[in-house]
Amino acid sequence: MQKIIQLLLICFFLHIERIYASGRTIHHHFPKVILISLDGFRYDYFDLAEKRSVNMSAFEKIKSQGVYIRRIQNEFPTLTFPSHFSMATGLHPESHGIVDNVFYDPTNNATFSSRNQSTASDSRFYDVGAEPIWVTNQFHGHKSGVTFWIGSEAKIKGQRPTHYLAPYNENITFNQRIDILMGWFEHENINLGLMYYHQPDRAGHIYGEASDEVFKAIEEINHGLDYLLTSIENRPSLSCCLNLILASDHGMTNVSSDRVIYLHDYIDPNEYTSAPKKSAEIWTLWPKKGHTAQSLYDKLKDKHFRLNVYLKEELPTRLFYDSSDRVGPVVVYADIGWTIIADRNSGVTLKNKGSHGYDPDYKDMSPFLMAMGPQISKNQTTELEETVRLIDIYSLICLILQLKPAPNNGSVCRIAPLVIHKSIANVNRSPTIFMIKFVILTIFMSYNGLYN
């Protein structure tokens, strides 16, 4: 009898860590991720900020304690909605379907516009096969929290984020968004948080790419990041496991009213249709009845030295933009710094001083990436510059959170050097388990004493 009891106690003792490893005791030590996007934060703003003596202390802290990739490769077109959905899904815009900020969807005979709240949250435009990271995360049984990320309001694969803010409200400050996310991490047990912020894009559009207002916005973001880092440090349950990823969606360049291309100088408006735009860097055209894509192409090709004209199937393969039916059969896009307007007599004037949406090979369109946290390695910078792509962020999050990714265009190999592969928790250090061991040993010794 004594040997049987001893054997049972030993077996229970050996398996107690396994029991707790699958329970709630170490749940809070599983990796967590917060991804923050700073709209329009061009890759070289760090260098320009240093020359202007802008306070970048929080950015520098993240860089010194983690990884910093000065310039990553963006997607085409370099616009807010396509780029953010590429970050979230790991897919090129031609694959995830958000091919522009404004586009026509022939399947649904409907027009998508980032400025129209009803279409911006319409699942018909988003739920076409792409799987955002919050859906992937929730398919693994976890919880997600999203503040204003593109696509988060739409139901995709039957899912919305566990917690999300809608509709978009620019008046909710950076720090308030941080408070909301921290509350979800701390009280709602999310393991993934995404946050979008509209600066310095807003300042760049209104005042220009390197205006004083841009760097004022960046300094305010730095204060917000300092607030975030302090918030994490003050929460031991998060500081041990929360990984911060900071990125931008695209860059910014200056534009002016003397660098405008007017489409109707070369083609008649009765020959084509397109998504309604006042001004843009890229237009895709559908020929009307009685006209062909070839005829539109022939009338536009080589007519303006700053206008790139392609039949969709002849687009450069590096743009990954020819396989979506939401891209018209004729694609025109301007050289950097130039703007396309339909008609010079339309009354449309170019008021903004900055813009984006151009070919991602232009450096001014390039975003950055930095990260820090328990699962993030250090000093992986120069050798990865221009190698890592925006679409790799999805794979990076999957790698950190140990999720099986959905099919995507990103590369785990490109992103793997950023991640430290280590055990997520050391249950032997748990005081709860120590006490259980102590009790078991006491019982064990008592039984030994009783039978001896």
* Cα–Cα distance measured from residue 377 to residue 398, given in angstroms and rounded to the nearest whole number: 16
Dihedral sign from CA coordinates of 306, 314, 82, 292: positive
Q: Do residues 227 and 61 make contact, with C-beta atoms less than 8 angstroms apart?
A: no
Residue 148 falls in which region: left (phi positive, over 0), alpha (psi -120 to 50) or beta: left
Based on the residue annotation, tell me whether 147 is a catalytic residue of this protein: no
Angle at alpha carbon of residue 150, lines to 126 and 210, rounded to 5°: 140
Half-sphere exposure of 104 (CA within 13 A, CB side): 15
Separation of alpha carbons 387 and 70, rounded Å: 11
Task: State the burial class of residue 312 (Cβ atoms within 10 Å of its Cβ: 0-12, 13-18, 19+).
Answer: buried
Whose CA is closest to 24, among 430, 370, 301? 430
- Phi (first) and psi of residue 411, to 5 degrees: -135, 120
Question: What letter represents residue 273's amino acid?
Answer: T
d(CA 395, CA 404) in angstroms, rounded, equals 9
The rounded distance, in Å, linking the Cα atoms of 250 and 283 is: 19
| Catalytic residue from among 25, 78, 80, 253 | 80
Tell me how long the chain is.
452
Q: How far apart are CA 132 and CA 125, in angstroms?
A: 13
Rounded Cα distance between 42 and 39, Å, is 9
Beta bridge partners of 5: none
Nearest one of 231, 85, 224, 218 to 156, comparing CA atoms: 85
Count of Cβ atoms closer than 10 Å to residue 381 Cβ: 13
**Residues annotated as part of the active site:** 80
